[in-house]
Structure 1
Amino acid sequence: MTTQTKKPSHSVYHVEGEGQKKFWTKIGAAWAHEDGKGINIQLTCLPVDGCLVVRKPRTDEQKGDAMSALPTYVVPYEEMPTEEVQQ
């Protein structure tokens, strides 16, 4: 496996849920090929459900309020499973 030497051109996210209940988790980076016909993807994990979204990073002008631009990483407390973990 080769190491990427330049800054990634895209971010890779795992997206679960639908509509307003979508949760985005950044799980990797991607580098576009110079000829524009492909992309190399490096993941830190491999999800078994949901979908993968590959997006170009936003520019400073597009970000606006930095906090509202951040993906959601945490499940709201009210939606946490209540089942006990068995040992």
Structure 2
Amino acid sequence: MWRGVVVAYIVVAICYFPVALIGYWMFGNEVDSDILISLEKPAWLIAMANLFVVVHVIGSYQIYAMPVFDMIETVMVKKLNFEPSRMLYIIYVLG
């Protein structure tokens, strides 16, 4: 599982760093920290970008939260003697 997490972080870094570097190269310090505030037109494109930010956050939550879920499950099963079950999974994911 940890190999999958490491690969996921590497893929995310490969996607983000070129965008950040090229954006800084093109615009420098002339933009706000939230790039969508710096844009003015077209309004539909800005709305779509905001929508995709929400979709991205919802989708990437599982990748970033998986190590935490794994740690909680390990502690609950090994130290607190819980049985690995679907109910345990539901408790620590929704709780």
Q: Which has the higher strand share?
A: 1
Give me the TM-score of the superposition, normalised by structure 2.
Answer: 0.20
Q: Which has the higher helix share?
A: 2
